[in-house]
Amino acid sequence: MRPPSSSTADPVLQLIDKKPLWKVSPANGSYYINSVAVSADGSRVVAGTFYHVYGAGESRRSPPGATPPPVATPSSSDNGTFGTYGYDQTGRLLWKDEFQGWQGVYWVAVSADGSRAAAGGLMAETGPQGFVRAYDAANRGRMLLSHPTKKRVNQVSLSADGAWLVSAAETLLLFRAGLPYYQQTAEFTSPGNESIVSASISQDGGTVAYADYAGWIGVLANDNGALTPRARWKVPGAGKSDFCHMISLAPDGRTFVAGGSGGQFFFFDVAKFIATGGPTVTYGTGVKEAVYGVAGSADGSLFAGVVNDGEAGKAYVARIVDGEAPAVPALSLKRNPNCAAINVSGGMIRVVFADGHPDGTPGHFYLYSCPTGAGQPLLRLRWIYPTGNMSWPIAFSASGNAVVGGSDDSHLYYFTP
């Protein structure tokens, strides 16, 4: 959780009427929707249910056990029936994988072609605690992988056709789809010997970017199932909170964006990263707080990031020009922001955000947009949708026809931009 502040949201940021095409609560109002994913054409949506009572000082992106657990609520409150759920573009449930467990599904992914899905999180209070699973998303959700991990799986990522899967837990695991089941082909331990907080694989499966809780950011090559380190760099700072919370790798694997601990965003050109060992651009916001959400455009020319501003938030969307990102005006958000996604299609730049903090307070989904063109984007607010509780994840289909969000109010939301 983030520290309190006396600052308030921008008073001129008004609600603009917007309704989801559909919304659904997979657990009938019982659990959080901590992660969502959508296929490239918007026809397949995946979400998972998760629950944890966060104590003072706990953050969703801190490693489990890094801070004292809540003392007022027994740990049994984190036990329940959790699951991964697959839907079509109309909100019809196609398949589900439910289990009795502890805290549940922390992250989900779906391949760009909608054929495969993956999920990871926590299943047991004692070790092995975590799990990674994979599914045939086009065939009633048949399970193709169920693999235990010692710690929570913080993130899963799939190549465009679902042939390759990476999971981030105490180590980074690489799996290859077989006939039909996934098989592990490689395991990578971070240089900081800490859990991997974020990992992403390129659409062709050839490049993996990762970040760990020790502050290391790196790139690996997938050499036909073997993971070869290509470059690594440590986020500035020596404190336990000085690590990257989120990696956003471009589909072609040529660029990625990372969020720092002191209100900074880091943009990496992978080829230059391998050559120089550092980020191409470091973008400072002047706000010395953690960055929880970043996103990059498919062509690597734009990046977006969010940062706290007291009890409200700010978002930044910048274009990389000649290896630099000039300062841009901040976009206003009503609450502490959690996630960002960006889409460039149909002559438009569109960026969506999710905010809300702490639990028990309202959250929001936003869409800002502007026409494509040279120079820095001049984004305008198009709509805001309020949710009954803080909202963590938001995703944009590659084709630009769908925005999917999840909230602690237990609902999955599907919007047309």
Res. 65 pLDDT band, cuts 50 70 90: low
Res. 305 pLDDT band, cuts 50 70 90: very high
Is the dihedral angle over the CA atoms 220, 118, 354, 382 positive or is it negative? Answer: positive
Residues of the chain with pLDDT > 70: what percent? 91
User: In whole numbers, what is the pLDDT of the chain averaged over residues?
Assistant: 91
pTM equals 0.92
The more confidently predicted of residues 75 and 28 is 28
Of 13-17, 94-98, 252-256, 331-335, the poorest mean pLDDT is in 13-17
Which backbone phi and psi does 278 adopt, to 5 degrees? -150, 175
Give the residue-averaged pLDDT of 282-310: 93
Q: Which 3 state secondary structure label does DSSP give 218?
A: strand
Say which amino acid occupies 145: L
Distance, CA of 79 to CA of 51 (rounded, Å):
8
pLDDT value of residue 264: 93
pLDDT value of residue 197: 97
Give the residue-averaged pLDDT of 69-86: 67
Cβ-proximal residues to 50 (8 Å cutoff; 6+ apart), any chain: 31, 32, 33, 34, 35, 82, 103, 104, 105, 106, 121
The half-sphere exposure of 2 on its side-chain side, counting CA atoms within 13 A, is: 26
Interval 143-153: pLDDT, tens: 999 999 999 99
Res. 72 pLDDT band, cuts 50 70 90: very low
Is the CB of residue 271 less than 8 Å from the CB of residue 233?
no
Checking if the pLDDT of 279 tops 50, the result is yes
Of 7-11, 91-95, 103-107, the poorest mean pLDDT is in 7-11
Interval 131-145: pLDDT, tens: 999 999 987 999 999
Distance, CA of 249 to CA of 256 (rounded, Å):
4
Give the residue-averaged pLDDT of 24-44: 96
Give the residue-averaged pLDDT of 48-65: 70
Interval 343-399: pLDDT, tens: 999 999 999 999 999 888 999 999 999 999 888 999 999 999 999 999 999 999 999
Give the residue-averaged pLDDT of 211-224: 97
Which tokens in the block code for residue 245?
A: 């919370």
Q: What is the DSSP string of 271-308?
A: HHHHHHSS-SEEEE-S--S---EEEE-TTSSEEEEEEE
Region class of 180: left (phi > 0), else alpha (psi between -120 and 50), else beta: alpha
Res. 272 pLDDT band, cuts 50 70 90: very high
Is the CB of residue 35 less than 8 Å from the CB of residue 405?
no
pLDDT value of residue 74: 36
Distance, CA of 279 to CA of 267 (rounded, Å):
6
Of 74-88, 272-286, 345-359, the poorest mean pLDDT is in 74-88
pLDDT value of residue 64: 55
Distance, CA of 380 to CA of 6 (rounded, Å):
27
Checking if the pLDDT of 68 tops 50, the result is no
Give the residue-averaged pLDDT of 256-285: 95
pLDDT value of residue 3: 34
